[in-house]
A and B are shown apart, each in its own frame.
Chain A
Amino acid sequence: MAGVQMSSAEREVALTQAPWQDAGATGTLFRGSFSSIAEIWQRRELLGMLTRRELKSRYKDSALGFLWSLARPLTQLLIYYVVVGQFLHAARGIDNFAVYIFSGLTIYTLFSEIIQTGTGSIIANSGLVKKVYLPREIFPLATIGSALFNFLIQFGILIMAAFFIGTLSFGPHLLYAVGALAVVLIYGTALALILSAVNVFLRDVQYIVEVVLLLLMWGSPIVYSLKAVSGFFPDWLLQIYIDNPVTLAVLGFQDAFWSPTGEGGSPPDLALRMVLIGLLGLVMLFAAQRLFTRLSGNFAQEL
């Protein structure tokens, strides 16, 4: 269309053939979701650009650039390895403790970054939300994109570390990593959608999120082993603990890159649990998208 100058009459003819669209997002149940997804797909180029903008602007004007995104996880690794592992003796009974921590930490960091930056994404882009119509889902999704990029760098380091230390082996257990990633993305997206929308109306949410993320970090076996928990919790509580999507993802990553035998105490039916929790997450994602659409109509006036 662009580049070709249409005359006034031609434009009129083209317009008579154009379908009527509702301005803004529509509310009907399944069709609404479908049209939202179609709209986002149409704007995927923009999604990519916003993701790149997010990444570019974050470390712009710093000499080391992207390397800074590694500073935090590597420091965390060092602290946990030395303080928790050695001083507090958590490393006893866990071989290759560094790889153990780092595999859990890598997938957890992805989750936490999606939630944390996702929650603030609508407010951070308030200038755009108020002035231009875009499918609003794009903003939380763009933060997921940039979180994924940081994750990939960290993931690369994890693979290399696992390879050199010798815990990396090829086999079907690597699929656990795929499952873990899927679970984190599904729940991360769903929560980022809900929280970013609610945060517009109630700014307290972003502070609550920080606290809850801290809880989740210590609520999954990242720096300690699952065995330590299983001796302590009654069975029903243990099941809830394990079925927490973050725990499942952490266990999945540990099984994939640290030890394929489930030495950390991960349940034998880990794959099944991942599938079920993942399906539950998809339902939640659908509901989250509906909620987001519902709330997004009022974004412009609340910001």
Chain B
Amino acid sequence: MNAPVNVVQVNDVSKRFIVRKDNSIKERIVNFGRGARYREDFWALRNIDIDIRAGSTVGLIGPNGSGKSTLLKAIGGIIQPTNGTVQRRGRMAALLELGAGFHQDLTGRENVYLNASILGLSRKQTDTHFDDIVDFSGIESFIDTQVKFYSSGMYVRLAFAVAVHVDPDLLLVDEVLAVGDEAFQRKCLDKIRSFQNEGRTIVLVTHSLDQVTDFCSRAIVLARGSVVFDGDPVDAVSVLRSGFDAAYEAEGSGHGTFKQPLGERGNITAVRVLDRSGLQHRDFATGDDLVVEVDVESVTPLAKWAVGLHIDNPLGQLVAGATSNSLEAKFPRLDGCARVRFDLPKANFGGGEYGVTVAMFGSEDQEIARSTDGTFFSIAQHSRSWGPLYTDVSVRFETITRS
């Protein structure tokens, strides 16, 4: 095998946005000379250096505002970096927004040709793919209707169908994989997999960390415009989940990299909610003794590890949480399977549904596995009070006289 072939080279790229607060001539003239007060600099990207190999699938992850989309746009040439250069080769297609360039007044057919042309296909090439595109989108009967009459689902399906039939070497995707119904989503994900098999390079911005571990061969974590981690997707997800933000801030400098993960691996194999006698249940009453049982296994031997528990209500609010560290429990070295039990005696949950999320941490407290809403339980409703916390509420009345 010869040297790896790169398709994208990002060399020391920085991007500064100037946030202006005055936008009309009048305001600019009035504020002339005091410009600095009416503008603010904001570095969306700082000194990014990335090479992307042909055939790899790279996930860009990070919290909102970390610069992932900006970086993707810089790679796509949509925004020009303030410093540094971006170079790429081969044919590129950017899927930053489905149906960008669809014109409301044109029919589906006309829009397919227009959009394909925007993505770089010639008319002749579109002709050869046209039937496939319509077939993939599954909206044959509406293809000659103006797209303004389409439902939003039909709209994105057609747009996605066009985009995946462009023959790109490099595909940039920005959070658009979650479109359509479940069947269509599966179709999209299959298409992405076949893209990978054909050796196409995919750069993907997403908030769905499951997608990152499922699809990507490499993940880059961004925070405040800098790369804090670049490497294996599982490690990247753990960096992102371990609340790296605090650690990052502690460094205090403009940029820095996160400490390298240790390559520890483990899995959560089962999560169960049991009653006092050890029977698995779904329905409980307030004040019952609950036991959350977690089965874990190590993939690499874990010298120091911990397990965390979150109980959330259906709105995603944390109702109760603890980790084995916060409970000051030490577990012995793990090499194989183990079972961890959290006891919640006389749990005073109010009536309602609760989800149980369990995570497993490695020796540096980095997250190595997570089971989001791994199981559910419900607490019977009370007629006397409501809310996530149950207390025995009572009420009294007395008259007061004003002095």
Which of A's residues lie within 8 Å of B, judged by CB? Answer: 1-3, 5-12, 14-16, 18-25, 43, 45-46, 49-50, 53, 56-57, 60-61, 127-134, 202-204, 296-298, 300-301
Of the listed residues B24, B28, B100, the one surrounded by the most CB atoms of chain A closer than 10 A to its CB is B100
Distance in angstroms between the alpha carbons of A110 and B9 in the assembled complex: 45
Contact A204 B75 (CB under 8 A): no
Could you say which residues of chain A place their CB within 8 Å of the CB of B129? 2-3
Distance in angstroms between the alpha carbons of A30 and B242 in the assembled complex: 51
CB-nearest residue of chain A to B6: A15
Partner of A3, one of B24, B80, B110, B125: B125
Contact A131 B122 (CB under 8 A): no
B146 to chain A, nearest CB (A): 8
Known: A11-B198, A24-B80. A132 touches B105 (CB 8 A): no
Contact B101 A127 (CB under 8 A): yes
Distance in angstroms between the alpha carbons of A3 and B126 in the assembled complex: 10
Can you name 12 A-B pairs with beta carbons within 8 Å?
A: A1-B167, A7-B199, A11-B54, A11-B200, A23-B74, A45-B117, A60-B106, A131-B94, A132-B119, A204-B25, A300-B79, A301-B17
Contact A57 B118 (CB under 8 A): no
What sequence of 0s and 1s flags, for each residue 182-206 of chain B, a beta carbon within 8 Å of any chain A beta carbon? 0000000000000001111000000
Distance in angstroms between the alpha carbons of A202 and B27 in the assembled complex: 11
Contact B118 A301 (CB under 8 A): no
Could you say which residues of chain A place their CB within 8 Å of the CB of B96? 130-132
Contact B121 A133 (CB under 8 A): no
Could you say which residues of chain B place their CB within 8 Å of the CB of A203? 23-24
What sequence of 0s and 1s flags, for each residue 67-96 of chain B, a beta carbon within 8 Å of any chain A beta carbon? 000000111111110000111111110101
Contact B86 A132 (CB under 8 A): no
Distance in angstroms between the alpha carbons of A24 and B78 in the assembled complex: 6
Q: Is B113 an interface residue (CB 8 A)?
A: yes
Distance in angstroms between the alpha carbons of A12 and B89 in the assembled complex: 11
Partner of A23, one of B28, B75, B103, B146: B75
Contact B121 A132 (CB under 8 A): no
Q: Is B177 an interface residue (CB 8 A)?
A: no
Distance in angstroms between the alpha carbons of A60 and B104 in the assembled complex: 11
A233 to chain B, nearest CB (A): 31
Contact B54 A22 (CB under 8 A): no
Could you say which residues of chain B place their CB within 8 Å of the CB of A296? 80
Contact A24 B86 (CB under 8 A): yes
A145 to chain B, nearest CB (A): 14
Distance in angstroms between the alpha carbons of A301 and B200 in the assembled complex: 29
Partner of B169, one of A9, A15, A22, A204: A15
Distance in angstroms between the alpha carbons of A36 and B29 in the assembled complex: 34
Beyond A1-B167, A25-B80, 5 extra complex contacts between A and B, CB < 8 Å? A24-B80, A53-B110, A127-B100, A132-B119, A202-B25
Distance in angstroms between the alpha carbons of A136 and B9 in the assembled complex: 23
A229 to chain B, nearest CB (A): 32
Q: Is B216 an interface residue (CB 8 A)?
A: no
Contact A23 B87 (CB under 8 A): yes
Q: Is B304 an interface residue (CB 8 A)?
A: no
Known: A8-B198, A57-B105, A130-B78. A20 touches B9 (CB 8 A): yes
Distance in angstroms between the alpha carbons of A2 and B200 in the assembled complex: 14
Distance in angstroms between the alpha carbons of A130 and B94 in the assembled complex: 11
Known: A24-B86, A133-B78, A203-B24. A53 touches B103 (CB 8 A): yes
Contact B77 A46 (CB under 8 A): no
Contact A23 B77 (CB under 8 A): yes
B74 to chain A, nearest CB (A): 7
Distance in angstroms between the alpha carbons of A36 and B246 in the assembled complex: 46
Distance in angstroms between the alpha carbons of A2 and B124 in the assembled complex: 10
CB-nearest residue of chain A to B70: A301
Contact B24 A204 (CB under 8 A): yes
Q: Is B55 an interface residue (CB 8 A)?
A: yes
CB-nearest residue of chain B to A295: B80
Could you say which residues of chain B place their CB within 8 Å of the CB of A25? 77, 80
CB-nearest residue of chain A to B93: A132
Of the listed residues A129, A130, A132, A204, the one surrounded by the most CB atoms of chain B closer than 10 A to its CB is A132
Partner of A11, one of B9, B113, B169: B169
Partner of B105, one of A23, A56, A131: A56
Contact B78 A131 (CB under 8 A): yes
Distance in angstroms between the alpha carbons of A21 and B129 in the assembled complex: 27
Q: Is B128 an interface residue (CB 8 A)?
A: yes
A48 to chain B, nearest CB (A): 9
Contact A12 B78 (CB under 8 A): no
Sorted from nearest, which 4 A-B pairs have the closest CB atoms? A297-B80, A8-B199, A23-B77, A24-B77
Contact A300 B73 (CB under 8 A): yes
Contact A45 B122 (CB under 8 A): yes
Q: Is B97 an interface residue (CB 8 A)?
A: yes
Distance in angstroms between the alpha carbons of A113 and B146 in the assembled complex: 27
Q: Is B171 an interface residue (CB 8 A)?
A: no
A207 to chain B, nearest CB (A): 10
Contact A128 B101 (CB under 8 A): yes
Could you say which residues of chain A place their CB within 8 Å of the CB of B90? 14-15, 18
Partner of A8, one of B79, B89, B106, B197: B197
Could you say which residues of chain B place their CB within 8 Å of the CB of A43? 117
CB-nearest residue of chain A to B170: A15
Contact B128 A2 (CB under 8 A): yes
Known: A128-B100, A133-B94. A60 touches B89 (CB 8 A): no
A133 to chain B, nearest CB (A): 4
CB-nearest residue of chain A to B75: A23
Could you say which residues of chain A place their CB within 8 Å of the CB of B360? none
Contact B55 A11 (CB under 8 A): yes
Q: Is B333 an interface residue (CB 8 A)?
A: no
Contact B198 A5 (CB under 8 A): yes
Contact A53 B114 (CB under 8 A): yes
Q: Is B311 an interface residue (CB 8 A)?
A: no
Q: Is B7 an interface residue (CB 8 A)?
A: yes
CB-nearest residue of chain B to A129: B78
Could you say which residues of chain A place their CB within 8 Å of the CB of B54? 11-12, 15
Q: Is B123 an interface residue (CB 8 A)?
A: yes
Q: Is B315 an interface residue (CB 8 A)?
A: no
CB-nearest residue of chain B to A204: B25
B170 to chain A, nearest CB (A): 9
Known: A7-B199, A15-B7, A56-B105. A134 touches B122 (CB 8 A): no
